[in-house]
Structure 1
C-alpha cells in the first residue's frame, strides 16, 4: 500500500491553513445565511470513510431542508433550495471541510469521501480508492464530477492512487478552480446530486 508522502501532507497544510483562516469571515456570513434560510443545524456532519476505510466526521455547510414528509420534503430534489444549490454550485458549502484537511482526515487532492454504506459494495479494485487519504477534489472531479458514471469515477480514483505525484495534484487543483468558476458537473442527469451507488455494474452475458 502506498504511504502518503510527507511532502503531500506539508503541501496540504501550507495551502490549507492560510486559506481556512482567511475564509473565516466568509464562513461566518454563510453560517448566518444558512441559519436564516435553512434553520439549524448550520453544519452538516456525516461519518465518511477515510484512508483504509477508517471513519471520520466530515463537515460542510448544510444545503438542504430537513426531511419532513408532512411538507413533502423527502427526496434530495424536494429538500434542495435555490440557496443550497448556489452553495453547492460555487463549492462554498465545502469551506468547513478545509478543517478536515488541517486535522489530517483528508487531503486537498484524492478520491472523494463517499458513504460508509458503500464500503461493502465496492469491487476489490474499486476499494483501492481508500489506499490514500480522501480529497476535497480529485481526478474524477476534474473529469466530469457528478456528470459521469460511478464506474468511471472509481476508475479515475484508482488511477490516481497508482499514478499521483505533485504534478498531477497541481494540475487537478488548477482544473478544479476552473471547474468551480464554470460550475461544471455539479449533478447527475435527473437528480440534484448523484444517484446512489448500488454496486459494480455487471455486464450483460
Structure 2
C-alpha cells in the first residue's frame, strides 16, 4: 500500500501533465476490470515487468558512486516499472474529481470505451484523444490523438488524415484493417508480418 506522501506525489505528477488542458472539455478515462480479450497482452506485460525488476535488482547490488543509496540511472527505471495498486487508483480518481476534473471509470478497457464514445465524431470535430497507445488513432471515429514524444515527452497531435496520406491508404477502414492484422494488445496478428508488410497488403 502506498503511503500518503507517495500518493500525493502521483497526483502532482498527473495534475502537472493536465495543466494545459481545459477541465470543462476534458474527460479522464481509467481502465476498469481486465478484459478477457487482453489477457495475453497482460501476461506478456507481467513477464516484461518481472524481467525489468530482475535487472533493477542486479543494478542495485552493484557498488554506487558518491555514497548514493540508489544510482540515478536506476531511478527512472523504477519509476517506469511501477504500477499503482487499485486502492491507490481509486484515491487518485477521487482527488482528481475533487479538483474539478471529469473522471470516467470505464467498465473494462479505456481505449475501447473511448473509441465507442467517438463513434459519431468526424474529422472536422474538435475531439482529441490524449494517449500513449499509438494504435488508438486506428479506432473508428477517432481522428486526432495527442501523444507524448521525444526526451521531454511533449504532446504532439497526430491526425488520421496525415497518417493515411503518409501510408498511402485510401480510407480509415484500410488503416483499421492494417491495425487488426498486425500484432496488437488484443491479438498476435499475422505471423511474421509487421505493420509495413500489412499496410502494403491492405493497400493492395
TM-score by shorter chain over 0.5: no
Structure with higher helix content? 1
Q: In terms of Rg, which structure is larger? A: 2
TM-score, normalised to structure 2, is 0.28
